[in-house]
Chain A
């Protein structure tokens, strides 16, 4: 049994998108102070081949639309409103101190080339699960009125090369105000993702930041045993280990009692990773091996491309033989052509 719980409190997980009419000529991204996505808090758990993400968007006031894009390891099977206290309870565990109205829509193809796999409305959030390359996702965002920051093309490529699945969340501040949402109110979203390949996106946290800006985040992991991580949280790599211990019965019971959290097992290992890195240095994700093998994936960490790993790890003898045969036939053909003379004579 494998399980993995991840939470990013007080941080923004996702590509920040400024919405509304485009401002050229040095205008600010988004109206200054008019609307803010205060923070995005994310929890992801892994159990029996299924990853569970709970992401909360907090309303900071203002009007208009705002949003984020979160890279996912695979296509989710459901996106629903998350539980009410899961995120807060996890934070409290290491720092002593969420109505299903979602509507799933059928898949449809977007004009940009990005495939819309799922559309869900949760409170004031319009959530779309997308499949596509970096260009597809970027075009989709542009077509939907969002402006991506200048580092988005490279960051989207970084993720799309490993998983072409993204979750776009557009926050309608006007709708939030109409619903009576107060400043600081959060909307938790629970994403269920069947996958053999869980990882925590960290590089996305630096999106839109200048190189010297600091990225700070807390990552909570819940696994059967102490997980193997890449990069190692030594503190020198921009991430450090803040907590590593068996999860208490109280924590597991509290988490299990929240909405949609019945999958929480009876035992587990709780790890807290603190991210504190200059944006320019945060060029990796957190690869986790919760299987006990102790070999976190270099591809998942973003240190290696999937294609490079595939080439290094496989040898297709059949294709090599076929290529050799074609090469020999080609050389023989050239030889015949050089010996052919007009009139049918052969030298």
Chain B
């Protein structure tokens, strides 16, 4: 086999492998978590509005660029009302309630079962009043 044929065979094999990988990715996409990046800077969330589908896992990667503690707590009005008078010093037990240490990243994966509108808030003292809130819309999928 000449060198030209060998190169052509190698290229064909590579193309076939890439095509198969692409097909596999498409098939499995609905089961992969949707990744949403959130940045905290100067005690504000960016973006401050997010839309995600119901029934699909969503991985939130939260970057705290501030040198102070922050929280990302997502839920309905009743949940936030409880947190406004809560005393839990650090959130780690529930994926919808996480604490983010200064100058660090935190990842949490949530699957929202029902469509609706939720908010995410930092409930550390003064942070919500300072504007550290965001809206999360869960669509019908």
Known: A151-B43, A153-B66. A25 touches B86 (CB 8 A): yes
> Is A210 an interface residue, CB under 8 A from the partner?
yes
> Is B102 an interface residue, CB under 8 A from the partner?
yes
Q: Which segment, of B25-33, B48-56, B106-114, B120-128, faces chain A?
A: B120-128
Contacts of B43 in A (CB 8 A): 150-151, 153-154
User: Which residues in chain A, 109-148, are within 8 Å of chain B measured between CB atoms?
Assistant: 134-139, 141-142, 147-148
Contacts of A317 in B (CB 8 A): none
Contacts of A136 in B (CB 8 A): 67
| Least CB distance, B12 to chain A, in whole angstroms | 22
Contacts of B125 in A (CB 8 A): 18, 23, 26-29, 147, 149
- A interface size (C-beta, 8 A): 30
CA distance A157 to B128 in the complex (A): 21
Contacts of A29 in B (CB 8 A): 125-126
Nearest-neighbor residue (CB-CB) of B84 within chain A:
A26
Complex partner residue of A142 from B41, B68, B84, CB under 8 angstroms: B68
Contacts of B87 in A (CB 8 A): 23-25, 27
- B interface size (C-beta, 8 A): 30
Q: Decide: A153 and B42 in contact? CB cutoff 8 A.
A: yes
Q: Decide: B126 and A22 in contact? CB cutoff 8 A.
A: no
User: Which residues in chain B, 97-141, are within 8 Å of chain A measured between CB atoms?
Assistant: 99, 102-103, 122-130, 132
Nearest-neighbor residue (CB-CB) of A139 within chain B:
B67
CA distance A137 to B83 in the complex (A): 29
Q: Decide: B90 and A24 in contact? CB cutoff 8 A.
A: yes
Contacts of A141 in B (CB 8 A): 67
User: Which residues in chain B, 36-69, are within 8 Å of chain A measured between CB atoms?
Assistant: 41-43, 66-69
CA distance A23 to B87 in the complex (A): 6
Known: A24-B90, A26-B85. A139 touches B71 (CB 8 A): no
Nearest-neighbor residue (CB-CB) of A209 within chain B:
B126
> Is A156 an interface residue, CB under 8 A from the partner?
yes
- Chain B CB within 10 A, most for which of A21, A138, A153: A153
> Is A228 an interface residue, CB under 8 A from the partner?
no
CA distance A256 to B130 in the complex (A): 45
Q: Decide: A26 and B67 in contact? CB cutoff 8 A.
A: no
Contacts of A208 in B (CB 8 A): 126
Contacts of A247 in B (CB 8 A): none
CA distance A25 to B93 in the complex (A): 14
- Chain B CB within 10 A, most for which of A18, A25, A139, A210: A25
Chain A 220-252, CB-CB to B under 8 Å as 1, else 0, gives: 000000000000000000000000000000000
CA distance A28 to B84 in the complex (A): 10
Contacts of A102 in B (CB 8 A): none
Q: Decide: A139 and B129 in contact? CB cutoff 8 A.
A: no
Nearest-neighbor residue (CB-CB) of B91 within chain A:
A24
Contacts of B4 in A (CB 8 A): none
Q: Decide: A152 and B124 in contact? CB cutoff 8 A.
A: no
Known: A24-B89, A24-B99, A210-B129. A137 touches B67 (CB 8 A): yes
Contacts of A147 in B (CB 8 A): 68-69, 124-125
Q: Decide: B68 and A26 in contact? CB cutoff 8 A.
A: no
| Least CB distance, A64 to chain B, in whole angstroms | 16
CA distance A309 to B47 in the complex (A): 32
| Least CB distance, B41 to chain A, in whole angstroms | 8
Give 6 pairs: A residue, B residue, CB < 8 Å, sorted on A. Answer: A24-B88, A29-B125, A139-B67, A149-B130, A150-B43, A153-B68
The 9 closest A-B pairs by CB, nearest first: A138-B67, A25-B86, A150-B43, A150-B130, A26-B84, A153-B66, A154-B42, A135-B67, A29-B125
**Known contacts A137-B67, A151-B42; can you find 4 more A-B pairs with CB under 8 A?**
A23-B125, A135-B67, A135-B103, A136-B67
